[in-house]
Chain A
Amino acid sequence: MENTSPEYAPAVEVPTSREEMDGLLDDLSLERDKTVRNSIHNRQAAVEALQNAGANGDAEHIADILPKVDEQLATKEAFRNNMEVAETQEKGLFRRAYETIKAHPYLTAAAIIAIVTAGVAGSIYLAGGVGAIAAAVEKAAAYVGLEHLYGAGEVAGGAAKAAESLGEAVRTIPGGIPDYVSGPGMENFL
């Protein structure tokens, strides 16, 4: 059954696509700077508009991250365009990559972490802000040796529950929990 409690039913959600971002800005009568990417005018107006739209305590957080979301939507579009070109040269890239991940429990666990974290992120950030999301990811990642990816910190509130459930699940990974890993980009997380 769908959870319809207030904390799981946000009136304003973080946009997941360019269309949603444009729709949100239109709904809130906000403008995106046409010449300077990622600049959304008048933060206070954005906060007030978001409050009026029902974002309540999350209005400031959403207003603050909208420019960053806008930037990442542009990155996502670039990635999809790049992949369309790559797929013309080699078909089935996503599917082949995913079948390989599925064939390896450790890699599957990493994918599950991503999906579960994204799945609960909306409700977690309402309860505890973006820091709680990061903490949930970190806690969950620790169970499969990926915590260096997400940094160190404490887990709090609803994030802990989500991460503990995930932790119970990944503890049963065949072959046990692997050693910590490192790789390019990791210096940002250490």
Chain B
Amino acid sequence: MSKVKELFNKYQALAYVVLLALLCAVPFILPKAVYVRYACNILMYATLAGSLNIINGYSGQTCLGQAGFFAIGAYTMAALSTKFGISFWLLLPFAGILAAFVGFLVSLPTLKLKGIYLSIVTLGASEIIRIIAQTWTPVTGGAMGIKQIPYPELFGLDTFRPKYYYFIFLVIGVVFLFVTKRVLNSRVGRSWIAIREDEIAAKSLGVQTSFYKSLNFMYGAFWAGVVGCAYAPFVNYIEASQFSTDTGFNVLAMIVIGGQGTLIGPIVGSTIVTLLTETLRFLESWRYVIYAVLIIAMMWLRPQGIAGASRSILAGGKIKRKKQAEGAEGSATNG
């Protein structure tokens, strides 16, 4: 693994270009059209899981209600494009901003709370959003939802076809990764990680924890909203039950299995869970049994997830010292 990483770092720019080229070729080289749909879902959920990972994997808060922010984004697109004909590309950032604002509101009561209290509040907020979507008929279509959401304009391409919609998700994913990488490698990102690792120490070093925790929520919610906005035309019809706690737990499973605290973890998680969902569709409830077993297995074997941050409190908090000379390089394992 580390040899791959070494190679990667050396030829980073080249590697990214090659990767990008491969990704662009995917919709054209996949044999079946339905596989392209899978690819779209993988990309979409990768970013959604990534948005949850920002909160759960980088600030020490366990949010269970990402479905709510997702819903805000989706309904913004659905309602404003069908009612006022506003362009998808304008709504994309606007949906994100709206979701970020809701994220701010949700963060307010959680600032003084910890652990499960915080998680329950996020779950409650997500449910409240869903119920409002289900009952606020003039805006959200109530239980009937919103139909025939217009497809975005993309250089005249027929985005109705997943082959081309794929690129919308790809662009969103790439922008998300690029921006997030920059944020994480900055004072803001360091503050988040400090809060995650040891909040008291962070406070004593001058990090305003309430501000950064709130900012973190807003950032995660923003991207969930953006993805939601892209989701709406893709499925063409949205209604409240698509944003239930099950959806939220689905996304949670992705980062628990795939990895928290790294940029690649959610991508791995999205790939695994989406492929399982699609290929095992016929198994119905057994699918969820498999996820559940995977989640529990992860917590036992590798709490940070497959591709998660091993060097963090996410990995279980115990340090195993290798028998080496004093001060030498060691590694963190989960206790």
Indicate whether A and B interact: no
Q: Which residues in A have some Cβ–Cβ distance to B below 8 Å?
A: none
Q: Which residues in B have some Cβ–Cβ distance to A below 8 Å?
A: none
